[in-house]
Amino acid sequence: MAVPKYLYKFRSFRDENHKAMLTDNKLFFASPDKFNDPFDCSVPIHYEDFTKTEFISYWADIFRKHSPGSRDYEIRKRAKELYNQFRSPSGRRRMEEYQEETIKKMRSEEMGIFSLTANLSSILSWSHYADWHRGFCLGFHRLSLEAFLKKCGPFLDLRPVDYTEEYPLINAYKTSDDEKTNKIVWTKSNDWKYEDEYRVLWLNGANKFLRLPGGVIKRVVLGWKASPTDKNEMMSILRSRADRVSLFQANPKKNSYGLRFDFIRYTRDQQS
């Protein structure tokens, strides 16, 4: 599959925060519990397949993180006690509750996600995320965005979403932490494949804003039902920017279900 030159974000004129992406270069990283897909970032973690050594090592590491002042023999003793408890039915129930709480915390407090798409032409996406074609779409230059994220550090990561019929297998004791994150964040049901989604993950960035430098947003595409008032407002916003952003208008194709994108010259020296 070809790597896209641009990644897009569908937006609405009715939301001032959406326009702030252009006026202030601010990106909002939503926590997954705000997503419209209740399965999103809810891949189950399996705790039932383990050896005694794997179990004790795994939980000892967790106890060290939560109790950094504890002695190692005390930590391992707690892990061994938990191993014996987990083998009972009540222990297994507690482990299931722990799994649910872990996923809930990740979805609400730890993961901030900024979603993009490589599919500008999706009629469904324009309807669902751009106010029924009355909104607009921002085009991010992918390489410029990746370069900026790289400068920010390892806590920001951009990748395409993998679409599957079944949950990926995540074993608490045998799957690495990085692979756990990859499978939880960048895996979705095949039902969403039409979105062709790319995601930026910001670890511990849930419900926070990140300010972009100029030159990353390179395009704006107006929905084909955008009002003249909204169109004029967009041109005014783009004229006020220090960098140059190309403007397009989506319009329906004449002989097929689909969209074409027509260039709009909003300044005299604008180039396509």
pLDDT tens-digit readout, 54-111? 888 888 888 888 888 888 989 999 889 888 887 777 777 777 777 777 777 777 778 9
User: Of 18, 26, 266, 267, which is closest to residue 135 (Cα–Cα)?
Assistant: 18
11 bridge partner residues: 136
Four-point Cα dihedral 252, 254, 257, 262, nearest 10? -30
Residue spans per domain, the chain: 6-35+112-264, 52-109
The answer to whether residues 12 and 230 touch, using CB atoms and an 8 Å cutoff, is: no
Tokens of 257: 């279900």
The answer to whether residues 116 and 160 touch, using CB atoms and an 8 Å cutoff, is: no
pLDDT tens-digit readout, 109-128? 789 999 999 999 999 999 99
The answer to whether residues 187 and 43 touch, using CB atoms and an 8 Å cutoff, is: yes
Tokens of 17: 């925060």
pTM, rounded to two decimals: 0.85
pLDDT tens-digit readout, 210-252? 999 999 999 999 999 999 999 999 999 999 999 999 999 999 9
What are the contacts of 48-51 at 24+ separation with CB within 8 A? 48/92, 49/171, 49/173, 49/174, 50/171, 50/172, 50/173, 50/174, 51/173
